[in-house]
Structure formats: C-alpha cells, structure tokens
Structure 1
Amino acid sequence: MRHIRARRVIAPLTVLAALAAGCSSGGGSGAADSGSSGPIVIGHTAGTTGFMSVFDIPVQQGMELAVADINAQGGVLGRQLEMITTNNESDVSKIQTAAQDVLDQGAEFVVTSCDFDIGGPAARVANDAGRIALGCAGGPLYGVDGVGPLTYNFYPGSRTEGALLAEYAKEKGYTRPFVITDQGLEYSQVVGDFFEQRWLDLGGTLVGEETYQNGDESAAAQIAAAQRANPDVILVASYPPGGATLLRQLRAAGLSQPLLGSAAYDGTYWTDAVPGLSDFTIPAAGGLSGDDPVPARNEFFTRLQQRTGEPAASANYPLEGYSFVQAIARAVERAGSTDTEAVKAELDKFTNEDLLLGPTTFTTDCHIPSSRPMLLKTYTDGVPKVIGERTVQSLMGQAPC
C-alpha cells in the first residue's frame, strides 16, 4: 500500500492548469465545505502490480499530475486535494479489501481499476459506503446498470469501440471480416460482439469467427480458421500481453491482411513482441506523438514525461486519471460540498463537459459517455500515428448519453 501526496509541479501551469482549475465554472459558490479545512481525500484502489499495472499505474500518474495542478491553484473550496493508493495486486480475491482500505483511510471518492471485472467489485464497496466510484472500464456494466447510481464510467466503452470499428471497416470497403474475440475479460468480449452486431446491422456478413483466451501460448486453431476463411480484414478483439502474442502469430503465419484491434492495444509498451507490426488500426483516446488534434493533450503528455522521466506508455489511462480528478474538483466546487448526493447531482449535469479526455456527458440514468469521439491510430513498423477522429453513428438501439 502506498500513501501518495501531491508532488511539486515541475512544469509551467499553462493551458492544462486552466483546465484543472476551471472547476468554478458552472455556478459553484466557492464557499468552504461545511467548515471543513482538511484535505479532500481521493482514494485510488489499483493493480499497481500484476497484469492491471500497465493500465492502472498510468491512471495513477495522471491523477497525481491533476492533484498537483489543482493544489497549485489553491485547491478546491479552499482545501487541498490528497491522494491515497492501495494495491489490489490485480487479484480478484483482494479487490474488495483494497477498496475498503482506502475508505478506512478517509477517502471521500474512490477511483477503481479500469476494468469492470477488476474495478466493478471495488466500485460496489465504495457505493455501499455511500461514496462515488469513478473508473474507465470498457465493459458497459461499469455504471448505473451493473454497479449502481454512484458509479461513473469515463470511458466511451467497448460497445462504442466495436461499433466504431465496424463502421470504419465498412467505410474502407472491406467485405469479408474475420473476428477473433478474447474471452479473458468482458471488455474484449463486448468489442467483438458489438463489431459483429454493427457489421450485420450495416448489411454485411462475417466470413468466420473464433474465440481466444488471453495467455494461451498457441493460436494455431484461430490461425487455421482464418486461413481457410481468407478474409480481407481481421478484427483482433483482445489486449496485451496475450493479445500481442496473438498478433505475432497471425503475422508469422503469413496472414498479411489489415488488422483491427481494440483500444487496449494503445501505446508501444507491447510492440517489441510484434516486430515491425504494420497495417494495424485501433481506436484511442489521445495521441502520444504530438499528433493529437487537441493541443492541451499534446502539452499534457510533454509535462507527464517531464514528471515521470519517461514517455507515456499509452494515451487513455493517464488522460483518464487526470480527468477523474478534474471532474471531482469541478463537481465539488459547484456543489459547494463533498456531500455524495450534492456531488452526484453536479456530475449528472455534465453535458459535453470539457475534460482533458474530451466532451463528457452524464445523466441520472446514464454514466457512460459513449458518444464521445475517439481517435483512430494505425501502426506502421510498430509506430502508431493518428489517422483521424470518429464518433460512433449507431449502437443499435442502445442510446448513448
């Protein structure tokens, strides 16, 4: 378990500081929080070791930078923000204990691991204690429907990913897609399912589909099926590390068709496992190479590298972490309090809220911003570049908020 206080800001507070400190917009009184003068404690229960660490540690880094920025501008309601982190070790048997730990240390808000299977149980512990939980799970059950009305998902979701990729494939003129869906997490399953649903909705047919289990050493069965089907594009609805193994084996077997993948592949931390990977396209939350269409995000990644001493491994998770703290600060400021129901009421008013992640909308019944635009990136020789931005056109009757 780690206890983390805000670090000193090591770069000028330019446009990002303005974004962070913009929490007073929207009618907050700025009055003290019921006489409280101590810090506002944000608990982060995360997999800082184990397979979730490649996702949760970048979230933590983004949160730390936001805490530092906001505190440098005077905090919220005259109070400083403080962050505490507990390690769930990416172990399902330890998630609830790790979540209770941050509550026992005084957390007024809880950020969970960015996955429904790992983050969902922690969110329930927070909600049961009357605390708001925030996360970035791809699975659509992370939110009101699957956890409860005090749980907010800041990620557009794997439904959006799958449908958006199907729309992109149709636009590119592909007609014979083959789908491989990783069964390891609800996240990857939904990406595959929604690609298929949206593709069929667009009038297409699949030439084949296979399942995969993250961590399997051999993808021989999936490769043989894809070779027989002779598709013109292959969707790999998976995630590293096992998903990288799958990509390598597909290419090694001579399957040179264009590949589509889920946003969990974003970044280059896994690309050494697939030397020279090209013609691989994924959705993503932001650009890492100065090619993001939002200048504030390019500046953010420059500052994050200055702070951590190394380039960000992926775009989504640091942006999520920063935006969690940003959203908490704005909602608390507008509520004039850290009271759960008062802050919830302000979060539920978010309409295209200009967070670093992008425009974010919540309603009382919908806590997943599935209509937020996503970037598309294509890997060439292992290097991802932004090729455009898309907003999903249809979720087949499931209305986005």
Structure 2
Amino acid sequence: MRYTRAWRVLAPLMILAALAAGCSAAAGSSGGESGSTQPILIGQTAGTTGFMSVFDIPVQQGMQMAIDDINAQGGVLGRQLKLVTTNNETDVSKIQTAAQDVLDQGAEFVVTSCDFDIGGPAARVANDAGKIAMGCAGGPLYGVDGIGPLTYNFYPGSRTEGALLAEYAKEKGYTRPFVITDQSLEYPQVVGDFFEKRWADLGGTLAGKATYQNGDESAAAQIADAQRANPDVILAASYPPGGATLLRQLRAAGLTQPLLGTAAFDGTYWTGAVPGISDFTIPAAGGLTGDDPVAARNDFFTRFQQRFGQPAASANYPLEGYSMVQAIARAVDRAGSTDTTAVQAELDKFTNEDLLIGPTTFTPDCHVPSGRSMLLKTYTDGTPKVIGERTVQSLMGQAPC
C-alpha cells in the first residue's frame, strides 16, 4: 500500500520530467539549430585513388583548410565543422556505395568528385537522401538541369571554358583553329563543342577537327589530320594524363603552332610528360606563383605550401574545396540551421557572393556560376604565368548566372 501511494505521487512528476527531457532532446537534434553542440559533418566522397585523385585530393586539402579557418573563428552556430570522407577509387561501380557510406557517417552535406560523370551519381545519392550535394564539375549538367535543385556546381563550367577560349583566339587574330576533342568524359566534349559554337558565332570557320580518347597511346591519326589542315592554333580539349600524351606527340611531330587547352591542365603536376612545353594557354581559377590578381588567393597558396609541405599541384581544386566549405558555413549561419530546405534557400540567394574562388551567383534555376571570370595562363618552358583575366562575352543564348 505504501508503494502504491508513493507511485501515485511520483508517477505524474516522472512523466512530466520525461516529457521535458524528450522536448529538450528533440530541440537539440532538430536539423542543427544553434542549440546543438555536435559538430556539423561535411562529407567528401572522392576519387583519392585512380585518375581523379589529382583533382579530388586537392579539393579535400582546400576543404580542410577552410574547416580549420572557420573552426578557429568559433565554427558555425557555435558548432565545429568536421570532415568525413570515403574513397570511390575513381571506379564507376563504387561511386554510389561510397556516397552512401559518407551519409551513413552522418554527413549533412556532400562534396563529390569534380566531374559530372564521376561526381553525378554521388550527387544523386545525396539528393535522394535529402542532402545538398556540391561539386566543381566542368559539365553543365552538374546542377539543376542534370541532377536536381539540391546540387550546386562551384565551377563556371566547360561551356564557359570553350566559349572563352574561342573569344581569346579571335582576339589574338587566329583564323584557322584545329580542334581535338577528348571523348572520354562530358567535360572535354563540352569544351570542344562550345569552342566550335562560339567560333562559328564569331564568324569563323575551323581548319579541321578530330576526336581523341584519353588513355590512347598514340595520337598519330589526329596528328596526321592536323598536319593536313595546317591550322594556326590547335585546341586540345582534353585533360591529364592522356591529354599530356597528346600534347607531347603534337610537339614531337613538329606541330609548333600555339596550343590551347582546358583548365584541367592547370598546374605543373603533368608537365614532366611534356618537357619544356611552351606557347600553351589555358583558362584557370587562380594563380599559383604569387601572380594572382586577388591577394587573398596568393596568401592562400602560401599557407597551403606551409600546411602540406609542398606547393599546390593546381589552383582550381584547392580553391573549389575551400569555397564550398565557405558557402556551406555562410548558408548555415544565415539559415540558423543545417536543415536542407533552409540552407538551400540561402544558397539560392547568393549574388556575387565573395568566395575565395571568386564572386559566385546562384538562383533557384541556375546552380552553375558560368558568368564568373577566369584567368588565362600561358606556359613557357614548362612554367605557367597569368597573362590576364576574362569574362565570357556570350554563351550563345544560354544566360549565365
């Protein structure tokens, strides 16, 4: 009888206490509001082995630098940022599993490989789980159009590269370009396609064109076509390592014309395969040797070398990684939450957002900042130097954001 009377007194108090505890727990786990003390997990599923490693590892390094910088300032909403990773091994059969693994670790945002073909499947896995995916793919389908409204591309894209190179070639006075387009990924295909389209839009005609497959040991057929065409400039719409093989064989065959290439060639990590490469011009996101017009980027690459013990292999990918974390932190801070819908709304308000990689604009219908300016670099004796900065003048009816 004593137990029964005591229970009658204590039970209502215990129920109230349980309800209060439950409400408190729910408040602490309801989408990452500022009351939580748990770290905000940012996931990267990348090709840290395989050919994508030369692009994805620098992205990871840039992400970690941004996370460290932001955490040193107190984090976001009173919470620290933390990077969790998986390796997709640049294997198309493992991309989706690797993406799911990073989500299973608790990632609230997912950064994928910087390519539509390799990163796209991972972005779809993240979006299907209600998470925002980010990448720096050249392919314009990495965004709203090709994947969905929860996927954001931080790179101007291969359309911008191709059109910008055509405008540069026209300004230089070239009249007979020859275009060699790598068919292995969407990225170089779009660069070559938009060079051709913009060149025609400018009233020009090609001397000729050929296709190439990254990994081919011989470019003899393409070289023979170029020799017959006798162009005054050659565009190698490709990327290392196969693209370096193509450049080496073009020069070895006596084709001394000026060369143009994609931003994937940025850096010197591949130049050992083409000793003394000269008169080769590419678009790029930043300068690596103190010649960037933005002082903050020069400082970043100085700190990068101090942090990792060697210079950055290329400019674009570390800057992309840093800027994606910047964007996440700002959008989460403004949303007051990591809730996907709230963060998406803030990202879609970005208008010339001052990220390290450059002013970035997103709208609900456009998640590819194709209007952002790019630097131009020319290689002389294997060393790239910034020669100017350009904003694409026209994407032939496709409005940049």
TM-score when scaled to structure 2? 0.92
Structure 1 residue 37: Cα displacement:
1.4
Query: What's 2:314 paired with?
Result: 314
Give every structure 1 segment of 4 or more consecutive aligned residues whose post-TM-superposition deviation is greater than 4 Å.
none
AA at the equivalent of 1:53? S
AA at the equivalent of 1:370? S
Structure 1 residue 33: Cα displacement:
1.1
Contact 2:46 2:112 in 1 (8 A): yes
**Within 1, Cα distance between the matches of 2:119 and 2:74?**
31
Query: What's 1:7 paired with?
Result: none
Query: What's 1:250 paired with?
Result: 250
AA at the equivalent of 1:190? V
Q: Percent identity between the aligned chains?
A: 87
AA at the equivalent of 1:165? L
1:296 is the counterpart of 2:296: yes
Query: What's 1:162 paired with?
Result: 162
Gaps of 5+ in 2: 1-31
Query: What's 2:341 paired with?
Result: 341
AA at the equivalent of 1:210? A
Kindly report which structure 2 residues correspond to 1:39-118, keeping only aligned pairs within 5 A, or say none: 39-118=39-118
AA at the equivalent of 2:346? E
Kindly report which structure 2 residues correspond to 1:238-387, keeping only aligned pairs within 5 A, or say none: 238-387=238-387
AA at the equivalent of 1:235? L
**Within 2, Cα distance between the matches of 1:206 and 1:49?**
38
1:125 is the counterpart of 2:115: no
Structure 1 residue 34: Cα displacement:
5.5
**Within 2, Cα distance between the matches of 1:111 and 1:350?**
18
**Within 2, Cα distance between the matches of 1:58 and 1:267?**
12
TM-score when scaled to structure 1? 0.92
Contact 2:34 2:79 in 1 (8 A): no
AA at the equivalent of 1:245? T
**Within 1, Cα distance between the matches of 2:227 and 2:102?**
50
AA at the equivalent of 2:351? T
**Within 1, Cα distance between the matches of 2:262 and 2:44?**
25
Structure 1 residue 35: Cα displacement:
2.8
Q: Give a deviation string over 1:204-250, Cα, whole Å, max 9, x none.
A: 00010000000000000000000000000000000000000000000
Query: What's 1:12 paired with?
Result: none
Kindly report which structure 2 residues correspond to 1:133-148, keeping only aligned pairs within 5 A, or say none: 133-148=133-148
Q: Secondary structure at the match of 2:94?
A: helix
Structure 1 residue 36: Cα displacement:
1.8
Query: What's 1:234 paired with?
Result: 234
AA at the equivalent of 1:172? K
AA at the equivalent of 2:380? T
Query: What's 1:394 paired with?
Result: 394
Q: Secondary structure at the match of 1:82?
A: strand
Q: Secondary structure at the match of 2:179?
A: strand
Query: What's 1:38 paired with?
Result: 38
**Within 2, Cα distance between the matches of 1:82 and 1:243?**
35
Q: Secondary structure at the match of 1:134?
A: strand
**Within 2, Cα distance between the matches of 1:204 and 1:362?**
33
Q: Secondary structure at the match of 1:359?
A: strand
Q: Secondary structure at the match of 1:93?
A: coil
**Within 1, Cα distance between the matches of 2:228 and 2:291?**
38
Q: Give a deviation string over 1:153-211, Cα, whole Å, max 9, x none.
A: 00000000000000000000000000000001100000000000000000000010000
- Structure ID, larger Rg: 2
